[in-house]
Amino acid sequence: QKEVEQDPGPLSVPEGAIVSLNCTYSNSAFQYFMWYRQYSRKGPELLMYTYSSGNKEDGRFTAQVDKSSKYISLFIRDSQPSDSATYLCAMSANTGNQFYFGTGTSLTVIP
């Protein structure tokens, strides 16, 4: 079983839609949860960073962590064509520990 599971998609939505991206994990020691956005042929860009359970909102983006279910989500409201990218979840147990990445979900927002 992989440490982190993420549906690779591809996911295609119309502009303005709400997008839900998800990851599940198996290691209960994970405490730090990140979402990265990666455009084609570019390095990942940190979008959201969450410690432990709960919600975090930043503009159109909301990250949710449910440690009891070992499930994290990223919601994008009012999606824009510029949101078209691959979204990677990542997590780690402690500071300085290895990051475990999901395989990424490819998102296309159609104008």
Partner 1 sequence: GAVVSQHPSWVICKSGTSVKIECRSLDFQATTMFWYRQFPKQSLMLMATSNEGSKATYEQGVEKDKFLINHASLTLSTLTVTSAHPEDSSFYICSVKGRSSYNEQFFGPGTRLTVL
Q: Residue 41, interface with partner 1 (CB under 8 A)?
A: yes
- CA distances to 18, 57, 60, 87 from 77, in Å: 5, 11, 5, 15
Q: How far apart are CA 77 and CA 64, in angstroms?
A: 14
Give how many residues touch partner 1 by CB under 8 A.
Answer: 27
CB nearer partner 1, residue 102 or residue 109: 102
Stretch 66-95: interaction string toward partner 1, x if CB under 8 A: ----------------------x-x-x-xx
Q: Which of 54, 57, 98, 110 binds partner 1 (CB under 8 A)?
A: 98
Peptide bond into 81 cis (omega under 30): no
Q: How far apart are CA 37 and CA 7, in angstroms?
A: 15
Question: Interface with partner 1 by CB under 8 A: which residues?
Answer: 6, 8, 32, 34, 36, 41-46, 49, 51, 88, 90, 92, 94-99, 101-104, 106
